Amino acid sequence: MHLTAYSLFSWLLNGGNQKDGFLPAAFPFLVAMLGLSLWYLFLKARKPMAPLPPGPLGLPIVGYLPFLGFDNLHLVFTELAGVYGPIYKLWLGNKLIVVISSPSLVKEVVRDNDIAFSERESPIAAQIITFGTNDIAFDSYSSPSWKHKRKILASDMLSSANLNACYDLRREKVMEMVGDVYENV
């Protein structure tokens, strides 16, 4: 069958009264999907990616989310660590997540290389709750405001006098939480 632009769109010129109208109706959609797919692959090929640890393959749009099983998420992560090692990657939607499950690697990342790993993207929920990451937990590590907030936290809020003043309240809350855990187990 010889298809030309006229034969594909002749159904439109004839008022759409053609019996075999599915192909002409689907053609613009198929061309658009092909164009978007090629554009996505072109952009992905242009962006050089750093070498990443191994990890499971996910689905194109949702990544590995459907396979996580949110009831026992820690068991899924333990199983994946057994397959891929103590450090592996996961695609959760379009976000790349690197999971570290070894205490020695966590120590290396959090304590030894904290500056290199401190500048990461904040989740949308954190940006909303903290009014644009305007707090000590999600603010940029290198910003002067973060250093000022950390100084206030260390000198005023976490001073020995303040910690001793709320010792009884902390002890009471810990006992309540332990009691709740004991009742629910």
**Residue 174: pLDDT band by 50, 70, 90 thresholds?**
very high
**What is the pTM assigned to this prediction?**
0.55
94 neighbors 113 (Cβ within 8 angstroms): no
What percentage of the chain has pLDDT greater than the value 70?
84
**Is the per-residue pLDDT at 180 higher than 90?**
yes
Residue where the block lists tokens 């903290």: 130
Reported as a single tens digit per residue, the pLDDT across 106-159 is 999 888 887 777 777 778 888 888 888 888 888 887 788 888 888 888 888 888
Higher pLDDT, 40 or 8: 40
Where is pLDDT greater, at 4 or 159? 159
Q: Three-class SS of residue 122?
A: coil
- pLDDT tops 90 at residue 173: yes
Burial letters 65-89, b for 16+ CB under 10 A, else e = eeeeeeeeeeebeeebbeebeebbb
- In this prediction, residue 22 has a pLDDT band, given cuts at 50, 70 and 90, of low
Greater confidence (38 vs 177) lies with: 177
Question: Which residues does 84 contact at the CB level (< 8 Å), separation at least 6?
Answer: 53, 54, 55, 56
List the chain domain ranges.
Answer: 5-46, 51-118, 134-185
Residues for the chain: how many in total? 185
Examine the pLDDT at 91 and tell me if it is beyond 70. yes
Both structure tokens of 176? 């309540």
